[in-house]
Amino acid sequence: MCIIVDNIDSNKDGFITEDELKVMIRDAQKKHTSKQVERQWNDSDVNNDSLIGWYRFKNVTYGSYMDNPQIEAEYNFTHMMLRDERRFRVADRNRDSSADKLQFTAFLYPESYEHMQDVVVQETIDDINKSGDGFIDLNEYIEDNVKDPDWVETERQQFSELRDKDKDGKMDRQETMEWILPSDSIHAEFGAKHLLSEFDTN
Q: Report the C-alpha gap between 169 and 135 in whole angstroms.
A: 10
Q: Which amino acid is at 23?
A: V
For the chain, domain boundaries: 27-108, 110-186
Burial of 201 (0-12, 13-18, 19+ CB in 10 A): exposed
What CATH number has the domain spanning 27-108? 1.10.238
With 0-12 / 13-18 / 19 or more C-beta atoms within 10 angstroms meaning exposed / middle / buried, residue 172 is middle
The pTM score is 0.75
The fourth-level CATH superfamily of domain 110-186 is EF-hand (1.10.238.10)
pLDDT per residue rounded down to tens, the chain (202 residues): 444 555 665 666 656 666 666 666 677 788 888 899 999 999 888 888 999 999 989 988 888 777 788 887 778 888 899 999 999 999 999 999 999 999 999 999 999 899 999 999 999 999 999 999 999 999 999 988 777 778 888 889 999 999 999 999 999 999 999 999 876 544 445 444 444 555 555 5
SS3 13: coil
Question: Are domains 27-108 and 110-186 of this chain identical in fold?
Answer: yes
Report DSSP letters for 103-170, one per residue. Answer: HHHHHH-GGG-GGGHHHHHHHHHHHH-SSSSSSEEHHHHHHHH-SSGGGHHHHHHHIIIII-TT-SSE
